[in-house]
Every structure is written in structure tokens, then in C-alpha cells.
């Protein structure tokens, strides 16, 4: 089963994709994570992407389309994947369609996480992840059960993203409104779009997504 999670920055895509990965054996394909890995490794793509990402603008369609196409070809994606952060523009959505067609693959559902914009800045400025396993946390909404210790792996190092500051968040929200929200009708017309309430608590959002994909 191949899925897309769509929603603005901070909507909960990463949080929910990770749960779907654990519960259904699907592979989470986060283009943000892939780009951050490229930046950390200092690859050619990473060098081109870094400043753009720090500002909160979108990286070029060509880079993203090439990256996702290569990734989908890898063996671990055979049982299905969850796209988290892709597509983000109409050009990406159309390229994805062509790509899936060429590879003989099919999109089961596009799940939209609907959220109030005012909540997003708080979600994003409070966000951090385990430096070892990548488990996501939040200063107020999703704390580890023991302070400073990852629930998932026991590590005690955490990190915050360079672009999780208010200024970059505003730019990212603007990019979502202008470039990503317009692809929702594209999937609605195909009859595969389902909306879930991204303002509900994390477990409830998971339940709603499970209902959509079952």
C-alpha cells in the first residue's frame, strides 16, 4: 500500500508516518529527512539545498523528483511506502503520477492532516527529535516519559532543526499555502483524498488514519 500524508509544516506528518511504518511495515519516505541527510553529508544536492531550506523555501522540483524516484526503486519499498513531505508542488504531483505509472505502482490514499494555522508555530518551535533513533518529541505536547531519555531507544541526546524558528516557519506556511495546498483538488478529483482532523490528539489522529486506510 502506497500512501501520501499531506499537510502544512507541523501538521503531524512525520509523527503519523512513523507510526504507520511501525504498525504496517510501510517505509516512511520523508523528503525533509533525506535532504537534511544530504546537507549533513555535504553532497552536491545538500550544498544546493542548505540555504534554501534554512530560509524555509522549497528546494527545486528536479532535485526532489530525482531523489524520490531513486528511493522508490530500492527493495525495501516493495511492500509499500508513505510519502511524507512529497509532493509539495503541482509539478511534483504530476511527476509522481508518471513515475508510479512507469514503475507499475499505484497510490492507495492521500491523507490530508487538516490543522489550524495558529497551532503550527507552537508545534514547530517546540519540536525536537532523538539524535539516535529520530523519534519525535515536543516540549509540551509529546514529552518522553522520563525527562531527557528517549522512550524508544534510551538515548539522552536530542536535536532541533535549523529551520524550526518562527521566521522560517512563516515562510514554510506561505510556501504550503501558495504551492502545496493547490494540489489537494488534484487528488480530490481522483477520488483518493481523505481528510482527518490533525488538531485531535496524536492517538486519535492515528485512529482516524487507520480508519481511512483499512
Instruction: Mention every residue, 6+ apart, whose C-beta is less than 8 A from residue 116.
Output: 199
Query: Is 19 an interacting residue with respect to ligand ADP (CB under 6 A)?
Result: no
Minimum CB separation of residue 203 from ligand ADP in Å reads 9
Contacting range for ligand ADP; rule: CB under 6 A; set: 39-47, 71-79, 101-109, 119-127: 119-127
CA-nearest of 2, 19, 5 to 108 is: 2
Concerning whether 18 is annotated as a catalytic residue, the answer is: no
Distance CA 212, CA 196 (A): 8
DSSP for residue 110: E
Distance CA 171, CA 53 (A): 10
Distance CA 204, CA 214 (A): 15
Residue in the shown chain whose Cβ atom is closest to ligand ADP:
32
Classify burial at 25, counting beta carbons within 10 Å of its beta carbon; exposed 0-12, middle 13-18, buried 19 or more: exposed
Applying CB under 6 A, among 4, 13, 111, 187 the residue interacting with ligand ADP is: 13
Three cell numbers, residue 161: 532543526
Contacting range for ligand ADP; rule: CB under 6 A; set: 52-60, 73-81, 144-152, 182-190: 52-60
Concerning whether 88 is annotated as a catalytic residue, the answer is: yes
Query: Is 28 an interacting residue with respect to Zn ion (CB under 5 A)?
Result: no
- Count interface residues toward ligand ADP (CB under 6 A): 35
Closer to Zn ion at the Cβ: 108 or 133?
Answer: 133
Concerning whether 123 is annotated as a catalytic residue, the answer is: no
Q: Can you tell me whether residue 67 is helix, strand or coil? A: helix
Applying CB under 5 A, among 15, 135, 206, 208 the residue interacting with Zn ion is: 135
Three cell numbers, residue 54: 534554512
Three cell numbers, residue 17: 508516518
Query: Is 205 an interacting residue with respect to ligand ADP (CB under 6 A)?
Result: yes
Query: Is 132 an interacting residue with respect to Zn ion (CB under 5 A)?
Result: yes
* Order of all β-strands in the sheet with 158-159: 136-138, 127-130, 158-159
Applying CB under 6 A, among 19, 50, 81, 123 the residue interacting with ligand ADP is: 123
Query: Is 202 an interacting residue with respect to ligand ADP (CB under 6 A)?
Result: yes
Concerning whether 188 is annotated as a catalytic residue, the answer is: no
Which residues here bind ligand ADP, judged by CB under 6 A?
7, 9-15, 31-32, 35, 52-53, 56-59, 64, 85-86, 88, 92, 123, 126-127, 136-138, 141-142, 163, 172, 201-202, 205
Amino acid at each position: 500500500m502506497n500512501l501520501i500524508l499531506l499537510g502544512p509544516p507541523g501538521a503531524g506528518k512525520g509523527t503519523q508516518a512513523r507510526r504507520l511504518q511501525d504498525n504496517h511495515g510501510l517505509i516512511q519516505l520523508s523528503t525533509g529527512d533525506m535532504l537534511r541527510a544530504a546537507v549533513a553529508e555535504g553532497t552536491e544536492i545538500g550544498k544546493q539545498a542548505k540555504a534554501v531550506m534554512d530560509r524555509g523555501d522549497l528546494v527545486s522540483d528536479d532535485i526532489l523528483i530525482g531523489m524520490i524516484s531513486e528511493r522508490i526503486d530500492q527493495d525495501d519499498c516493495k511492500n509499500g511506502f508513505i510519502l511524507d513531505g512529497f509532493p509539495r508542488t503541482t509539478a511534483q504531483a504530476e511527476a509522481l503520477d508518471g513515475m508510479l505509472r512507469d514503475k507499475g505502482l499505484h497510490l492507495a490514499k492521500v491523507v490530508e492532516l487538516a490543522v489550524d494555522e495558529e497551532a503550527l508555530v507552537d508545534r514547530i518551535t517546540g519540536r525536537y527529535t532523538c539524535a539516535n533513533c529520530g523519534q519525535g518529541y515536543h516540549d509540551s505536547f509529546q514529552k518522553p516519559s522520563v525527562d531527557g531519555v528517549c522512550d524508544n531507544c534510551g538515548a539522552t541526546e536530542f536535536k532541533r532543526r535549523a529551520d524550526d524558528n518562527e521566521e522560517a516557519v512563516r515562510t514554510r506556511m506561505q510556501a504550503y499555502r501558495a504551492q502545496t495546498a493547490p494540489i489537494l483538488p488534484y487528488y480530490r478529483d481522483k477520488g483518493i483524498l481523505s481528510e482527518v482532523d490533525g488538531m485531535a490528539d496524536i492517538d486519535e489522529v492515528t485512529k482516524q488514519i487507520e480508519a481511512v486506510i483499512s
